[in-house]
């Protein structure tokens, strides 16, 4: 309160100083909150980038796994067909009945196979 003389009492100066100190503190805290908000926003954006990258890596890995499984299946299928051809060519020992390509098939059927799944 202001005295009738227009001057503030001695206690008023202390209150004004405390008020100014509080205002300065509030302004500093607001500045810190704003800086922290910007930091959090930047970190959230970085997280989104990493999540997108992780998703792409997982998609590629799923594709690679699918292709590897298909390759293994094709390899198994080729081995089964080769075994079937081997049985056919071994069963027809009479060379007069053999087709012109039977020697080549016999060679291919006896060739070692490579199991890609073991590598």
Q: Name the nearest CA neighbour of 70 among 117, 23, 38.
A: 117
Q: Are 9 and 1 in contact (CB under 8 A)?
A: yes
Q: What is the mean pLDDT of residues 8-22?
A: 81
- Per-residue model confidence (pLDDT) at position 13: 86
pLDDT tens-place string over residues 64-105? 999 999 998 888 887 777 777 776 655 555 545 555 556 666
The sign one gets for the Cα dihedral 70, 71, 72, 77 is positive
Alpha helices by DSSP H, listed for the chain, are: 10-91, 102-110
User: Does the pLDDT at position 114 exceed 90?
Assistant: no
């Amino acid at each position: 309160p202001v005295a009738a003389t227009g001057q503030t009492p001695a206690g008023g100066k202390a209150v004004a100083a405390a008020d100014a100190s509080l205002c300065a503190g509030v302004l500093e805290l607001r500045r810190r909150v704003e800086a922290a908000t910007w930091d959090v926003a930047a970190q959230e954006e970085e997280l989104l980038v990493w999540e997108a990258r992780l998703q792409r890596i997982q998609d590629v890995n799923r594709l690679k796994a699918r292709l590897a499984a298909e390759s293994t299946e094709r390899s198994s299928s080729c081995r089964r067909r080769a075994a079937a051809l081997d049985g056919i060519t071994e069963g027809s020992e009479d060379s007069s009945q053999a087709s012109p390509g039977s020697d080549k098939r016999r060679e291919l059927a006896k060739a070692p196979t490579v199991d890609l799944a073991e590598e």
